[in-house]
Structure 1
Amino acid sequence: MSDDLHVEADGGVLRVTFDRPEARNAMTFDMYAGLVAACERADADDAIRVMVLRGAGGRAFVAGTDIAQFAGFDGPAGVAYEGRIDATIGRLLAVTVPVVAAIDGFCIGGGLAIASAADLRVASRDARFGYPIARTLGNTLSARSYALAVRHLGAGRVIDMIATARLLDAEEALTAGFVTRVAEDVTTTTEEVVTAILGHAPLTLWSAKELLRRLHAAAGVVEDADVLDRVYGSADFAAGVAAFTAPPSAGRRTSPDWQGR
Structure 2
Amino acid sequence: MDYESIKLAIDKKIAIVIINRPESLNALNAQVFTDLEKVFDFLESEKSINCVIITGSGEKSFVAGADIKEFSAFKEEQAVEMAKRGHSVFQRIENLNKPVIAAINGFALGGGLELALSCHIRYASNNAKLGLPEVTLGLIPGYGGTQRLPKLVGKGIANEMIFSAKMISAEKAKSIGLVNEVFSSAELLAKTQQLAEQIVKNSPQGITKAIKAVNASESEKGMQTEIDAFGELFSQEDFREGVSAFIEKRKPAFN
| TM-score band, normalised by shorter chain | 0.7 to 0.9
Which structure 1 residue ranges, 5 or more long, are not aligned?
220-261
Contact kept in structure 1, 2:114 and 2:143, CA below 8 Å: no
Q: Separation in 2 of the partners of 1:189 and 1:174?
A: 16
Question: Taking structure 1 as reference, are residues 164 and 71 closer, same or farther at Cα in structure 2, changes over 3 Å only?
Answer: closer
Q: Separation in 1 of the partners of 2:143 and 2:29?
A: 22
Q: How does 1:125-144 map to 2 (within 5 A)?
A: 125-135=126-136, 137-142=137-142, 144=144
Specify the code of the residue in structure 1 equivalent to 2:188.
V
Q: Separation in 2 of the partners of 1:186 and 1:143?
A: 26
Question: Taking structure 1 as reference, are residues 143 and 6 closer, same or farther at Cα in structure 2, changes over 3 Å only?
Answer: closer
Q: Separation in 1 of the partners of 2:10 and 2:38?
A: 13
Could you list the per-position Cα deviations for residues 104-137 of structure 1 after superposition, in whole angstroms to 9, with x for gaps in the alignment? Answer: 11001111111011111110111111101122x2
CA drift of 1:189 comes to 0.8
2:208 is aligned to 206
Q: Separation in 2 of the partners of 1:106 and 1:173?
A: 12
Contact kept in structure 2, 1:109 and 1:132, CA below 8 Å: yes
Could you list the per-position Cα deviations for residues 122-179 of structure 1 after superposition, in whole angstroms to 9, with x for gaps in the alignment? Answer: 10111111101122x2212248431111111211111111221111211111111121
Contact kept in structure 1, 2:117 and 2:145, CA below 8 Å: no
2:150 is aligned to 150
Could you list the per-position Cα deviations for residues 171-193 of structure 1 after superposition, in whole angstroms to 9, with x for gaps in the alignment? Answer: 11111112111112102211211
2:163 is aligned to 163
Contact kept in structure 2, 1:52 and 1:99, CA below 8 Å: yes
Specify the code of the residue in structure 2 equivalent to 1:205.
I
Q: How does 1:90-101 map to 2 (within 5 A)?
A: 90-101=91-102
Specify the code of the residue in structure 1 equivalent to 2:173.
A
2:236 is aligned to none
Secondary structure at the counterpart of residue 174 of structure 1: helix
Q: CA RMSD in A?
A: 1.7
Question: Taking structure 1 as reference, are residues 218 and 145 closer, same or farther at Cα in structure 2, changes over 3 Å only?
Answer: farther
CA drift of 1:44 comes to 0.5
TM normalised by structure 2 equals 0.81
Q: Separation in 2 of the partners of 1:47 and 1:152?
A: 31
Q: Percent identity?
A: 26
Specify the code of the residue in structure 2 equivalent to 1:26.
A
Q: How does 1:101-140 map to 2 (within 5 A)?
A: 101-135=102-136, 137-140=137-140
Q: Separation in 1 of the partners of 2:197 and 2:14?
A: 10
Secondary structure at the counterpart of residue 39 of structure 2: helix
Question: Taking structure 1 as reference, are residues 142 and 25 closer, same or farther at Cα in structure 2, changes over 3 Å only?
Answer: closer
Q: Separation in 2 of the partners of 1:161 and 1:213?
A: 23
Q: How does 1:210-221 map to 2 (within 5 A)?
A: 210-216=212-218
Contact kept in structure 2, 1:102 and 1:122, CA below 8 Å: yes
Number of aligned residue pairs: give it. Answer: 218
Question: Taking structure 1 as reference, are residues 123 and 143 closer, same or farther at Cα in structure 2, changes over 3 Å only?
Answer: closer
Q: How does 1:160-199 map to 2 (within 5 A)?
A: 160-184=160-184, 185-199=187-201
Contact kept in structure 1, 2:14 and 2:197, CA below 8 Å: no
Which structure 2 residue ranges, 5 or more long, are not aligned?
222-255
Q: Separation in 2 of the partners of 1:142 and 1:218?
A: 25
Specify the code of the residue in structure 2 equivalent to 1:39.
F
Contact kept in structure 2, 1:101 and 1:115, CA below 8 Å: yes
CA drift of 1:8 comes to 2.8
Higher RCO, 1 vs 2 (CA within 8 Å, ≥6 residues apart):
1
Q: Separation in 2 of the partners of 1:176 and 1:206?
A: 27
TM normalised by structure 1 equals 0.79
Contact kept in structure 2, 1:86 and 1:145, CA below 8 Å: no
Which contiguous aligned blocks of 4+ residues in structure 1 show a shift greater than 6 angstroms? none
Secondary structure at the counterpart of residue 178 of structure 1: coil
